[in-house]
Amino acid sequence: MLKNNPDSGNPGSDPWRQWYDENSTKLMMFARQQLRRPSDAEDVLHNAILKVWSARKRRAGGVAPTETPDPAEIYTAIRRTAIDLGRRETRRAAREEKVIELEDARGISYFDDPFDEAERNDEISKALRKLPVAQREVVALKIWGELTFAEIGQTLEISENTAASRYRYAMEGLRRILGKGRESYFKNLMVI
């Protein structure tokens, strides 16, 4: 609802207040039809009225307008304000989706409980210690060293195929050690 303060030079001044009281119901109905969520209608309606009022004030050289808007002007403002809101929400949703995709691709989640992650890391460390040293070396060089199997082979003086086999055996061993339902713990380790 617009605040009624005639001295403040805002859209709550008398002619605008009367106009709003007479037209608010039909304007609200129109605003609801323009939006994805009817709960945004009041905000869109008030923002549209404020835009029209502010534009008239600028055109009048900073003097608060007393002439009320014609229906076409306010309906156009409501429609444009609703479109702007829809675009903002679409862009926001796209940004959020992109963040979620990046989190998935990197194995990062800003919403995970850090205690859960610490616990998971501890379980992975314990499981890795149960693997043979040769397999642990390959896993460490592949994951944390970010080396290819060819580079791992050169580093450990083994063939590329042996490095790949040890890595595969290590992943199978981790599956066995960690058990069913915990594959997600080391899915990021499976970079081949």
CATH number at residue 139: 1.10.10.10
Assigned domain for 56 exists: yes
How far apart CA 177 and CA 136 sit, in angstroms, is 14
Task: Round to the nearest angstrom and report the end-to-end CA distance of the chain.
Answer: 61
Q: What is the pLDDT of residue 1?
A: 46
Same domain for 159 and 117: yes
* CATH number (domain holding residue 35): 1.10.1740
Listed residues 72, 87, 105: the one ending a domain: 105
Grouped pLDDT means (10 residues each) for the chain, 192 residues = 47 77 90 85 93 91 86 90 92 84 66 64 84 90 87 91 94 84 56 38
Task: Quote the domain boundaries for residue 89.
Answer: 6-105
Assigned domain for 1 exists: no
Same domain for 100 and 120: no
Same domain for 128 and 74: no
Same domain for 100 and 152: no
Q: pTM for this structure? A: 0.47
How far apart CA 168 and CA 183 sit, in angstroms, is 14
Listed residues 49, 74, 105: the one ending a domain: 105
Question: How far, in Å, are 15, 53, 54, 73, 139 from residue 57 at the CA level?
Answer: 14, 6, 5, 15, 69
Q: What is the pLDDT of residue 111?
A: 56
| Number of domain units in the chain | 2
